[in-house]
Structure 1
Amino acid sequence: MADLTLDPARPLARTQGTVHLLVTERACGERARGRGPGAGVLAEETPQEVRLIIGVEPQGGARTCQRSPATPFAVELDAPLGDRVLKDVGVYPAREIGP
């Protein structure tokens, strides 16, 4: 699993169907590029919210535990985000992604 935040370099455009995120692997490791994100993407869209879970394939072998750097990742929605709330449901309780 991974933690999700909005990418400050790519502001949220509610009239568009793409959400730009920064994905940070929860396990010790390195940038997720090449191992995901996208190894497991779940996007459930309702009229009120968009629920996201993004998985990253774990690295094998021994690692020293340092915080992994964030990896940019874009999620394509079925429709523009509009007034819907973005939620990271890969954590409990689910949390809103955004400002």
Structure 2
Amino acid sequence: PNALMESLVTPAIAALLKAHPLLEPELVASDLHLDLFAKDIDLAIRVGPSKESSLKQRRIGQFRDVLCAHHRYMNGRTIQNASYIANAW
């Protein structure tokens, strides 16, 4: 995903290239669910559950969503749907 590219993926790729300088990676960042076979992609980092059971997969981390708002925005407002906010979205 695009949001993770700069903070997590790029530094990891830099370390990988330092250890293996002959690698020539091509990085593709997308928020879309790409077809890895059709796009000839060897390695993917995805957020969320995968529907592709034919792929070899391993969890490498976990993220927690946090909903934030400025106190001036929240003043005078009430939470309309607390059950939605409590869901894993």
Bigger Rg, structure 1 or 2:
2
Which structure is higher in RCO with an 8 Å CA cutoff and minimum separation 6? 1
TM tier, smaller: under 0.3
**Structure with higher helix content:** 2
Q: Taking structure 1 as the reference length, what is the TM-score of the superposition? A: 0.20
